[in-house]
Structure 1
Amino acid sequence: MAAPALLFGPAARRVLDFALPPRCAGCGAIVEAPHRFCLSCWSSLRFLGEPCCDRCAAPFDHGGPGRLCGACLATPPRFDWARAAVAYGDIARQVALKLKYGGRPGVAETMARFMARHLDRVPQGALVVPVPLHRWRIWKRGYNQAALIATALARRAQIEPRLDLVRRVKATPPLKAMGPKQRRDTLRGAFRVPPELRPIVRARSILLVDDVYTSGATANAVARALKRAGATEVGLLCWARVVRDADH
């Protein structure tokens, strides 16, 4: 029984690090430990936090608890609050693409480590739920990147992950070129909580997890489905958020 233990001992890890040294999550340069960034990539990341809009995480010059941006005052999202680890930029985009299309599932742990500083907003008894993919997209990609991040976050926070509570029942085209109304119309009816799972959602707080927040339309549609199923609160946590001048 001693041999298997040696496979994971300090000596074996040193050999593995020499053969496969840890790489920067952004550019791939060798770094001192896994899930780290080199100095150049680290310096390029813009970390997000307070002060910001409490509803959509848009940065503010000055803010406080409960302060909302103009867009959220005009049209409040269905989710109750949102936070993101970093602003969407070149390095944040490279990390997201490695997870989404590059077949690098370990990047989900890197994202989760930086997202975890916002977990203090999550109440006890909450469930961690990823934004779901349609089954055809999972079949093509092999996995749901949001589910990998959600699992890593749940493990770090010792919160129950539920990867099956929301289903994407309608395949939708890419939203990138669409305006706000077209996005809402496209996503209408795309998500639902199956009737047999609604008792799990009812009267619970939900932490919704995604990789990138662009317009919030997808998260809004998922939050709507969760609220209809009886969730009392839906918070949104992402790796990166697109920050536009209009958000300020």
Structure 2
Amino acid sequence: MQKSRSRVHPWKIVAVAVGAAAVVGVGVAIAIGASTASPPAAEPASSATEPSGAPAADGRVAATPEQAYALSLPVLGAWLEDDFDHAWIATAGTLEAAAAALDYAARDDVQYAHWVDTFTQVLDIADAVADGDQQAALAAYAPLSAQHPGPYADVIVDRSVSRVPADDALPHLDALDAAIAAGDHIAVRRSAGDVAEAFAEVIRAAQLHVPDEAHQVLTRLLPALHVVDEVHAAVRDDQTEDAAAAAAELRSSFDTFTAWHQSVSG
């Protein structure tokens, strides 16, 4: 049963939604914002001077999708451990990073299969967070954290959010349908990855718009993300008909979420 949760101020959600992973030397400093109710961030390097929010341009290169995913894990782990009731705030960031890595790996069969499995494991964490089951969430998180210990030096992560992520998701749904109809295997992989990434960004943005119901956003969009996962699994296993059937469910699932979000956001 979903646990009741107190209202969270929008600025606290913003701190995670736009916080970037700052790497100083070989130490990782995760800027996630701070308050008396916030969990501790990953231990910063002693020379770190970055304020919370996106770091200023300083010559660091953009993180690869895999690096961005790895750097999201300590943030998620801190919330799972220290403020589990609000861990839904950070979960979407890792979902989005895993989806971006999945999208990036679309052209390589081995890497694509790996990231499909990883995305499924991140969804397991999201399910446990939505269910209020901390032990299950930590159990699902542990193997993922062990696979990506980092750190990555001299990289910066883009955590910006589209102004209209829900609208941006629609062309990706169209592209997925078109790719399936055309039988373009790689295009289906890429489009399904784009949809997963777009949905995760919708979660991050929607949390800001409904502070009184923000804890429900992840739960309400999880069914659609699971359908995306079914598309990926079907494509990986060359089950074209299964992929088409799963894709057909996506719009109705996303429409259900959109209707709920509109009802609570006014």
**Where on the TM-score scale, by shorter chain, does this alignment land: which range?**
under 0.3
Larger CA Rg, structure 1 vs 2: 1
* TM-score, length basis structure 1: 0.27
* TM-score, length basis structure 2: 0.26
Bigger fraction of residues in helix: 2
Bigger fraction of residues in strand: 1
